[in-house]
């Protein structure tokens, strides 16, 4: 089974959307952020990590035909960590 490029595009769009939203917040000084804005930044970073993890897992499973046992395996397979 090959890589589902529609799924990959969807994940990339999610990450880019989160980056754009975070960029709007980080233009302010940290002391000027409300608690809701700080929590939003944290949430957006968590969702970015989740989307990037899903992307790495999908590529490793579909392109390299591997079944990672842990979440760090995709990063090793893609050469992201030693």
For residue range 22-46, list pLDDT tens digits in order.
999 998 898 999 999 999 999 999 9
Length of the chain, please? 82
- Amino acid 15: pLDDT: 96
Q: What average pLDDT does this structure show over 11-21?
A: 96
Q: Where are the domains of the chain?
A: 5-77
- Amino acid 36: pLDDT: 96
Cα dist. 45→1, 4, 28, 35, 73 in Å? 30, 24, 17, 16, 21
Band (pLDDT 50/70/90 cuts) for residue 1 is confident
Contact present, 11 and 65 (Cβ < 8 Å)? no
How many Cα atoms are found within 13 Å in the side-chain-facing hemisphere of 49? 8
Indicate if the pLDDT at residue 21 is higher than 70. Answer: yes
Q: What average pLDDT does this structure show over 57-81?
A: 73
């Amino acid at each position: 089974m090959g890589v589902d490029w529609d799924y990959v595009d969807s994940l990339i769009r999610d990450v880019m959307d989160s980056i754009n939203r975070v960029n709007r917040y980080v233009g302010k000084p940290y002391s000027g952020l409300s608690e809701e804005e700080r929590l939003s930044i944290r949430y957006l970073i968590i969702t970015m990590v989740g989307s990037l993890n899903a992307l790495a897992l999908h590529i490793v499973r579909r392109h390299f035909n591997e079944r990672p046992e842990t979440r760090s395996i995709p990063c090793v397979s893609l050469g992201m960590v030693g």
